[in-house]
Amino acid sequence: MHISCVGVIALAGRVTHAALPQYLAPLQDIDFPSSESATNPLQWLGANGPWYAGPNVFGISSDVPENCHVDRAAYISRHGSRYPDQEAYDGWVSMYERFQTGHYTARGSLSFLPNWHPVLTDPTSQIAMENPTGAKEAYDLGYTLRTRYPDLYRERDTFMVWANNYTRVLQTASMFVRGFLGFAASKQGSVISVTSKGFPASVGDTLAPSDMCPNFEDTEGGDYKAAWDDIWIPPVQKRLQELIEGNLTLTVSDVSQVPYLCGFESHITGRLSPWCDVFTDEELKQYEYSNDLRYYYGVGPGTDLPRKMLTPFLNALLGLLQSESTNGTKADGTSFALPKLLVSFLNDGQLTELVTASGVFDEQPPLSPTDKDDNRLWVGSRYVSMRGTIAFERLSCSIRNGSEPQNYQRYSHSTVAAAGLLNPTLPTSTGSAAYIRIRLNDAVYPVPSCKSGPGSSCKLSDYAKHIAEKYALEGDWITNCNVTVTTDTPTEVKGASFFTDLSKPWVSQLAV
């Protein structure tokens, strides 16, 4: 029987594909049901919707590239879904009081208004805390990463994660450890709390460095967002007002709160909120664009100082990823091995600052305040959702004869024998090279200036150099922030020394 070389390659391709892991963890662990008015209302909510797996906008597989394996990784995640902060909840209560006292009739998608009330059952204990969906998101992430990277943790080893000292962030970190370690969490796991205020020596060395940067200001999109809101809100306001007869007038604030309530009520209750029946898909996308402007011009690429906040952190993180192994020092002076899977938790602003520093959006043109670009790459729903995540995977990839990794097929002995090739010349590797791959909500995002590696990755040394050069061009962090220098203030910020030095006064180790 004769089998052509083409047939061998095709067969080998099938064999290789079959060998890819088939995970039990679902790609999307929160359902996104349709509403009466929109096919996917929870997907367009920017920072206010539950976590969802980002779309593959570049057409790059998230599978580990052939001839590579992940030997270290760092995940930095926003906290999970939460209850509203006090100010937002007060706004809900104000809406409720108006809806209850008005003499009106609402029909269609607003017919629920007279019977609506805020869904919090015990505001005193719930305000600003992580809600049940957030707990599920965090636990699920722990399970997912444990099974995605089985070689990055050894059974019975201690395991720690880092978190900004903010209650809902600490709650997310704790639930993640439980999902990662299961019943061993209380014995083997811990959370390293990093306080971002009050310690001059911690300037530029926390998970929320802007808290110690006097010049920092988050404009929340400023005039850019305001200009877009003046365009998209009035037509929606007019459409909804036509569904009401009587003395209830919907305000601009009411209209802008509809998607916010859709997201929050849904992930608070675990059921799709009636507010999700109000906007159409296109209206929700207009809201999403408003949210994108808020982050792009608030703490993202469209800013001067905020976009520089997490560059020192990223620079330090890459230093750790370039090391084969790293030991740290505990508060009692004993040493510990830094986990091969390094996981940190913070807030939405810091996540956006880090995503900006990473460079994956370097070629995004400035967002227009008057024209929504449906083909833009900067879409907050895809990375700053609740439990939004940026991941840095270190790929160890085989090289041959000192050359760059080749995407050659792996041929099994049985495949070769079946082809009748008795003495085939198969690719052989003589070493390995390290590459970095970035994922936002699990989708792969290449760095535009460095994507020639396997799976559009970047050689780790080249990426580290790129970030170091960016950091140098941004100027002195302490000077940029106008930090008041004391005897404890460092001459140069360290970015992330808290990963390896748990003896610092702003760092504490907490039980799970």
In DSSP terms, 329 is beta-bridged to 335, 501
* pLDDT reported for residue 293: 98
What pLDDT was estimated at residue 7? 42
Burial class (CB within 10 angstroms; exposed 0-12, middle 13-18, buried 19+) of 154? exposed
The predicted pLDDT at position 405 comes to 61
pLDDT for the residue 201: 97
User: Can you give 359-384 as a three-state secondary structure string?
Assistant: CCCCCCCCCCCCCCCCCCCCCHHHCC
Token output for 142: 């722990």
Residue 450 and residue 460: Cα distance in Å, rounded? 10
Specify which residues 432 forms β-bridges with. 398
Say what angle helices 348-358 and 311-321 make with each other, to 10 degrees: 70
Alpha-carbon distance values, 327 to 339, 344, 502 (Å):
9, 17, 11
Nearest Cα neighbor of 292 from 190, 360, 371 is 371
Name, in order, each residue with C-beta under 8 angstroms of 488's C-beta and a sequence gap of 6 or more.
199, 200, 201
Q: Which residues pair with 434 in a beta bridge?
A: 396
pTM of the model: 0.91
Q: What is the pLDDT of residue 9?
A: 37
Q: What is the pLDDT of residue 431?
A: 87
Of 177, 133, 149, 393, the closest CA to residue 269 belongs to 133
Q: What is the pLDDT of residue 403?
A: 61
Can you read off the two tokens belonging to residue 65? 């590239």
Please give the chain's pLDDT, 512 residues, in tens.
344 444 433 433 333 343 688 999 999 999 999 999 999 999 999 999 999 999 999 999 999 999 999 999 999 999 999 999 999 999 999 999 999 998 999 999 999 999 999 999 999 999 999 999 999 999 999 999 999 999 999 999 999 999 999 999 999 999 999 999 999 999 999 999 999 999 999 999 999 999 999 999 999 999 999 999 999 999 999 999 999 999 999 999 999 999 999 999 999 999 999 999 999 999 999 999 999 999 999 999 999 999 999 999 999 999 999 998 889 999 999 999 999 999 999 999 999 999 999 999 999 999 999 999 999 999 999 999 999 999 999 999 998 765 666 443 333 333 333 333 333 344 455 689 999 999 999 999 999 999 999 999 999 999 999 999 999 999 999 999 999 999 999 999 999 999 999 999 999 999 99
340 HSE (CA, 13 A, CB side): 16
Distances (CA, A) of 8 to 5, 369, 418, 483: 5, 55, 8, 64
pLDDT for 400 equals: 76
